């Protein structure tokens, strides 16, 4: 797949087919993603891929924590506010999702339901967690973002779907204990991965992007 087409067509998938992705294909995706750029070629990413009973067991544990109202232990703090431009983009997302699904994402009653969907990895056969050492700087967070983008684009180029999930990191401390990850590692992102269900209405939603002239200044 051409890079330009891959960039334009990739989108977040929230309904997956149940069949697992062959291990060889998962390895192909990771083989491509490992070529991501990073500061001084530091390559500050560590990856855990969960499938089968391990994924299901982690899903059950996160839902149990949610139902028990256990306080979050995320390694990265959630944003508390947004500048006006970003707030407008988020509002547009909520509006388009409501029009497509009839669900108001700003309804507080839906937050728990949304989190359960995240903790179940939207029914995807595989979950991926991205870690790095917590002594690393913000540059390394940037690098891990590049790796996540490369991973998602590589998956899309192979006919797979992904969705990056901040909610899936809510219980970082407990997740690291479950996965036997040292406490000194920083859990940055969770992703669901599998074959997209093309008939699902949620997967037909295409969010908009700002026009180039709204975020670029040309100086000559």
pLDDT at 80 over 80: yes
CB-neighbour burial class of residue 81 (10 A; exposed 0-12, middle 13-18, buried 19+): exposed
Pairing of strands 185-194, 161-165: antiparallel
Band of the pLDDT at 183, cuts 50, 70, 90?
very high
**Model pLDDT for residues 37-73, shown as the tens digit of each residue:** 999 999 999 999 999 999 999 999 999 999 999 999 9
Helix (H, G, I), strand (E, B) or coil at 199: coil
Q: How far is CA 196 from the centre of its chain?
A: 15
Residue 103: its pLDDT value, please? 63
Average per-residue pLDDT in the chain? 93
Strand order in the sheet with 161-165: 46-51, 126-133, 185-194, 161-165
User: Could you tell me what percent of the chain has a pLDDT over 70?
Assistant: 96
d(CA 191, CA 166): 9
Which domains, from first to last, does the chain contain? 13-76+120-205 (3.40.109.10)
Angle value at C-alpha 119, between 53 and 64, nearest 5 degrees: 80
Note the pTM of the prediction, 2 decimals: 0.92
């Amino acid at each position: 797949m051409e890079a330009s087409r891959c960039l334009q067509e990739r989108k977040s998938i929230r309904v997956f087919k149940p069949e697992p992705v062959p291990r060889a294909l998962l390895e192909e995706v990771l083989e491509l993603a490992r070529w991501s750029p990073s500061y001084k070629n530091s390559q500050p990413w560590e990856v855990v891929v969960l499938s089968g009973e391990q994924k299901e067991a982690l899903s059950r544990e996160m839902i149990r924590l949610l139902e028990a109202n256990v306080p979050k232990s995320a390694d990265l703090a959630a944003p508390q506010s947004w500048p006006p431009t970003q707030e407008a983009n988020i509002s547009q997302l909520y509006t388009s999702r409501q029009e497509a699904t009839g669900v108001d994402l700003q309804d507080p009653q839906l937050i728990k339901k949304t989190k359960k969907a995240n903790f179940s990895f939207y029914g995807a056969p595989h979950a991926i967690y991205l870690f790095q050492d917590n002594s690393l700087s913000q540059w390394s967070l940037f690098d891990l973002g590049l790796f996540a983008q490369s991973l998602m684009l590589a998956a899309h180029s192979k006919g797979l779907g992904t969705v990056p999930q901040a909610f899936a990191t809510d219980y970082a401390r407990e997740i690291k204990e479950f996965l036997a990850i040292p406490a000194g590692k920083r859990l940055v992102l969770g992703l669901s991965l599998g074959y997209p269900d093309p008939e699902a209405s949620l997967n037909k939603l295409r969010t908009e992007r700002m026009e180039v002239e709204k975020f670029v200044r040309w100086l000559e």
